Each structure stands twice: as C-alpha cells, then as structure tokens.
Amino acid sequence: MREHKIVVLGGMGSGKSTLVRAIAAGAVVDTDVPNSDRAGADKASTTVAMDYADIDLPNGDRLRLYGTPGQQRFDFIWPILLQGASGVVLLLDATRWAAVEELQDYVAVLRQHAADVPAVIGVSRLDLAPSFDLETCTAVAGWGNRMLPVMPVDARNREQGLSLMDVLMSEMEVHELVPGHG
C-alpha cells in the first residue's frame, strides 16, 4: 500500500476545512475554534492547528490529507507541513478583492518550500464572484517552465473535491514517471 501526504494550503475562508471534510465524508479531525481574527471577523470558526483526514482510495492507496490554518500568524506551520509532501492543493477564494495577488504570494511560498512537489490550484466560491477571471490566475500560476493546473472547485461539493484530487493524482503520476520534472 502506498501513502500520499497531501497538504491543503490557502487563505482564511478559502474552504480548506470544508474541502477536507467533503472529501473525507466523516472520518476527519479538525481543530476549528470560534474565530477571533479581526481580518476575517465575518467567519464563525477558523482552524488553529490543522485539519486531518485519512482517505482510502479504490486502488488501495491511502491519502493523508492535511489542511493548514489560513490565518497569516500561522504561516510558520506551512513549510513544516510541506516537508515530505507528495502533493499540494492550493485553494483560492475568488471573492477576495486581491485574489490574484494572494495567489502570487502562495505560488512564491510553493516555489520556496515545495518547488518540486506536484500541485493543483482550486478556485473556490466562484458562484459568489461571477465576474472572476480564471485566465488571470492561470497566467500567474507557475514559475520558470512550471505551470500549475487551475480549476474551479466548490469545496462543499464532494464530487468537485474528488475531481480536484484526481487532477492532483495525475500530476503526481507524471512526476513519478519523469523524475526531476515538476
């Protein structure tokens, strides 16, 4: 049996905990507490340590899914969680006014701490931001000759969450077949 450590990154309220819960469908540990962060004060709860879930895939592989806390003051945890990761899901909240700049910041984090780790970008809450332009995200989602796939995802929707994981798993397969290629 093979195990894959998958790290879910993204800003506060981008849907990391929701995605982990949706994919795991029950067997999940979270550390959400009432939110006291002013920057996201419209949010009832927030993650203070991490979300965690085990998922057994039909092919016998196991995913270990780690959702990071989104609050900026926890950014020291991101590189620690990224150590040994086989894949990264980066969630971007389409309703954030500076979403594209935030994406650039996260892409820089990946470049610094997980340059060789397969990754996929899921844009969430698109139903609340109908004029959001996915193309601008695609344009900044990479570095050098590395392009990260960008796709819409409603983190509440299990099927969509699983599709996102499928794309990530394909990236991971390519990575295994072609060592040294992102």
Q: Which residues bind ligand GTP (CB under 6 A)?
A: 10, 12-18, 46-47, 69-70, 124-125, 127-128, 154-156
Which uninterrupted H or E stretch holds 169? helix 158-177
Which CB, 150 or 155, lies closer to ligand GTP?
155
Provide the mask over 28-67, with x wherever binding to Mg ion is found by CB under 5 A and - wherever it is not: -------------------x--------------------
Q: Which of 14, 17, 68, 160 binds Mg ion (CB under 5 A)?
A: 17
Question: 66 has which bridge partners?
Answer: 7, 52
> 18 is in the binding site of which of ligand GTP, Mg ion, none (Cβ under 5 to 8 A by kind)?
ligand GTP
Cα separation, 177 vs 172, in Å, equals: 9
Cα separation, 90 vs 121, in Å, equals: 5
Burial class (CB in 10 A: 0-12, 13-18, 19+), 2: exposed
> Which positions lie near Mg ion, rule CB under 5 A?
16-17, 47
